Structure 1
Amino acid sequence: MTVIFLLILVSLILALGFLGAFFWAVKGGQYDDDYTPSVRILLEDDKPTDTKL
Protein backbone atom coordinates (compact mmCIF):
# COMPACT_ATOMS: atom_id res chain seq x y z
CA MET A 1 0.00 0.00 0.00
CA THR A 2 2.91 2.33 0.70
CA VAL A 3 4.18 1.84 -2.84
CA ILE A 4 0.88 3.08 -4.30
CA PHE A 5 1.02 6.27 -2.23
CA LEU A 6 4.63 6.78 -3.23
CA LEU A 7 3.80 6.35 -6.93
CA ILE A 8 0.86 8.75 -6.66
CA LEU A 9 3.08 11.33 -4.96
CA VAL A 10 5.81 10.97 -7.57
CA SER A 11 3.31 11.24 -10.43
CA LEU A 12 1.75 14.36 -8.93
CA ILE A 13 5.16 15.98 -8.53
CA LEU A 14 6.03 15.08 -12.11
CA ALA A 15 2.71 16.42 -13.42
CA LEU A 16 3.19 19.68 -11.51
CA GLY A 17 6.68 19.94 -12.99
CA PHE A 18 5.34 19.60 -16.52
CA LEU A 19 2.55 22.07 -15.79
CA GLY A 20 5.07 24.55 -14.44
CA ALA A 21 7.28 24.10 -17.52
CA PHE A 22 4.25 24.72 -19.75
CA PHE A 23 3.32 27.93 -17.93
CA TRP A 24 6.96 29.03 -18.03
CA ALA A 25 7.04 28.50 -21.81
CA VAL A 26 3.78 30.42 -22.27
CA LYS A 27 5.01 33.28 -20.09
CA GLY A 28 8.30 33.33 -21.98
CA GLY A 29 6.51 33.80 -25.31
CA GLN A 30 7.19 30.37 -26.77
CA TYR A 31 3.70 30.12 -28.29
CA ASP A 32 3.14 33.75 -29.28
CA ASP A 33 3.71 33.56 -33.02
CA ASP A 34 1.91 30.72 -34.73
CA TYR A 35 1.52 32.31 -38.18
CA THR A 36 5.01 33.35 -39.29
CA PRO A 37 6.69 29.91 -39.24
CA SER A 38 4.15 28.54 -41.71
CA VAL A 39 4.82 31.30 -44.26
CA ARG A 40 8.50 31.97 -43.57
CA ILE A 41 9.59 30.18 -46.73
CA LEU A 42 7.38 32.52 -48.77
CA LEU A 43 8.90 35.63 -47.17
CA GLU A 44 12.58 34.75 -47.53
CA ASP A 45 14.65 36.35 -50.28
CA ASP A 46 16.25 34.07 -52.85
CA LYS A 47 19.46 36.09 -53.13
CA PRO A 48 22.58 34.00 -53.61
CA THR A 49 25.15 34.35 -50.86
CA ASP A 50 28.14 33.55 -53.08
CA THR A 51 29.07 36.61 -55.16
CA LYS A 52 32.09 35.04 -56.88
CA LEU A 53 31.57 34.23 -60.56
Structure 2
Amino acid sequence: MEILGILIPVSLLLGGIGLAAFFWAMRTRQFEDPQGDANRILTKDWDDKPRP
Protein backbone atom coordinates (compact mmCIF):
# COMPACT_ATOMS: atom_id res chain seq x y z
CA MET A 1 0.00 0.00 0.00
CA GLU A 2 2.96 2.31 0.45
CA ILE A 3 3.67 2.15 -3.29
CA LEU A 4 0.32 3.83 -3.99
CA GLY A 5 1.65 6.94 -2.28
CA ILE A 6 4.26 7.11 -5.04
CA LEU A 7 2.34 5.76 -8.03
CA ILE A 8 -0.71 8.01 -7.73
CA PRO A 9 1.22 11.32 -7.76
CA VAL A 10 3.50 10.05 -10.54
CA SER A 11 0.52 9.03 -12.67
CA LEU A 12 -1.17 12.39 -12.07
CA LEU A 13 2.04 14.20 -13.03
CA LEU A 14 2.42 12.18 -16.24
CA GLY A 15 -1.24 12.74 -17.11
CA GLY A 16 -0.81 16.47 -16.55
CA ILE A 17 2.26 16.53 -18.80
CA GLY A 18 0.32 14.69 -21.51
CA LEU A 19 -2.61 17.09 -21.20
CA ALA A 20 -0.28 20.09 -21.39
CA ALA A 21 1.39 18.63 -24.50
CA PHE A 22 -2.02 18.13 -26.12
CA PHE A 23 -3.09 21.71 -25.42
CA TRP A 24 0.27 22.98 -26.74
CA ALA A 25 -0.25 21.00 -29.96
CA MET A 26 -3.74 22.41 -30.36
CA ARG A 27 -2.56 25.98 -29.73
CA THR A 28 0.29 25.71 -32.26
CA ARG A 29 -2.11 24.24 -34.87
CA GLN A 30 -0.41 20.86 -35.20
CA PHE A 31 -3.73 19.24 -36.17
CA GLU A 32 -4.76 21.86 -38.71
CA ASP A 33 -5.09 19.75 -41.89
CA PRO A 34 -5.52 16.03 -41.20
CA GLN A 35 -7.31 15.43 -44.53
CA GLY A 36 -4.44 17.00 -46.47
CA ASP A 37 -1.96 14.73 -44.72
CA ALA A 38 -4.08 11.67 -45.51
CA ASN A 39 -4.31 12.63 -49.18
CA ARG A 40 -0.61 13.45 -49.41
CA ILE A 41 0.26 9.85 -48.49
CA LEU A 42 -1.76 8.50 -51.42
CA THR A 43 -0.26 10.70 -54.17
CA LYS A 44 2.29 9.40 -56.63
CA ASP A 45 4.33 12.62 -56.50
CA TRP A 46 7.67 12.44 -54.74
CA ASP A 47 8.81 15.26 -52.47
CA ASP A 48 12.52 14.38 -52.74
CA LYS A 49 13.27 17.15 -55.23
CA PRO A 50 11.31 20.36 -55.56
CA ARG A 51 9.72 21.00 -58.93
CA PRO A 52 11.36 23.79 -60.98
- The bucket for the TM-score relative to the shorter chain is 0.5 to 0.7
Matched, 1:34 2:27: no
Consecutive unaligned residues of structure 2, counting only runs of 5 or more, are none
TM value normalised by structure 2 = 0.67
| Length, aligned pairs only | 45
Which residues in structure 2 correspond to 1:1-53 (within 5 Å)?
1-40=1-40, 41=43, 44=45
Larger-gyration structure (1/2): 1
SS at match of 1:32: coil
Q: Give me the CA root mean square deviation.
A: 2.3
Aligned residue identity for 1:21: A
TM value normalised by structure 1 = 0.66
Query: After TM superposition, what 4+ stretches of structure 1 lie above 4 angstroms from structure 2?
Result: none
Consecutive unaligned residues of structure 1, counting only runs of 5 or more, are none
SS at match of 1:2: coil
